[in-house]
Amino acid sequence: MTDKDLDIIFDASSLDTRIAEMAAEISSDYDGKNILAVCVLRGAFIFAADLLRKITADVTLDYLEVTRYGNSDKPEENLKLISDLSHSAEGRHILVIEDIIDEGITLSAVRSLLLKRNPASIRICALFDKPEHRRADISGDYIGFRVPDRFVIGFGMDYKQRYRNIPYLAAVKAQ
């Protein structure tokens, strides 16, 4: 796939500007608290790295790795927990950092899993939202952009484990 096969949805500088706004809002909401930032691997790693460097509140970073996608662009029904947090979530102010909410199945399962651990609070931050196909009752507390109903890649998101390193958000052009 080359640049010619891609439609740019959001360029790097628009993403950076919006992430700075989100970080300012989060920093003010969590002022004086320690955030347990839970980066949902793998897709959220680039967003989390950019967002966390702009947050001025106190942050502890942890990771959770889950997948609904095997080696395809068709999601599987059940979420697989590949690796769990390394910190206890009990009594913590959890901020889940996710790349994109689509059907909502992933975040809904992640939220249920974390709620069982008695956190003090839990909020969801996602850079992109594709609400057209929502099946689970979930919405983000902090959302960067609504994206068109297309399969997007780049800025951490993959197609068959490739293209995560593209520094902007793109969709594959219809052939």
Least distance to Mg ion, CB of residue 2, Å: 25
Residue 17 CB: number of other CB atoms within 10 A? 10
- CA distances to 6, 12, 72, 167, 175 from 9, rounded to whole Å, are 9, 10, 22, 12, 17
Answer yes or no: are the C-beta atoms of 169 and 15 closer than 8 Å: yes
List the one residue from 10, 43, 79, 169 that touches Mg ion (CB under 5 A): 43
Between 50 and 57, CB nearer to ligand IMP? 50
Task: Looking at residues 33 to 62 of the shown chain, list those that interact with ligand IMP (rule: CB under 6 A).
Answer: 43
C-alpha distances in Å from residue 32, one per residue of 28, 61, 75, 166: 9, 17, 39, 35
Interface with ligand IMP (CB under 6 A), residue from 64, 95, 97, 157: 157
Residue 99 is a binding residue for ligand IMP (CB under 6 A): yes
- 61: buried, middle or exposed (CB in 10 Å: 19+, 13-18, 0-12)? middle
> How far is residue 148's CA from residue 9's CA, in Å, rounded to a whole number?
9
**CB 64 to Mg ion: min, Å:** 10
Q: Is 102 in the site for ligand IMP (CB under 6 A)?
A: yes
Does residue 97 belong to the site contacting ligand IMP (CB under 6 A)? no
Catalytic residue among 73, 102, 137, 149: 102
Q: Is 100 in the site for ligand IMP (CB under 6 A)?
A: yes
Is position 84 annotated as part of the catalytic site? no
Q: Which residues in this chain contact ligand IMP in the complex, by CB under 6 A? A: 43, 68, 75, 98-106, 151-153, 157
Active site (catalytic) residues: 102
Residues that bind Mg ion (CB under 5 A): 43, 99
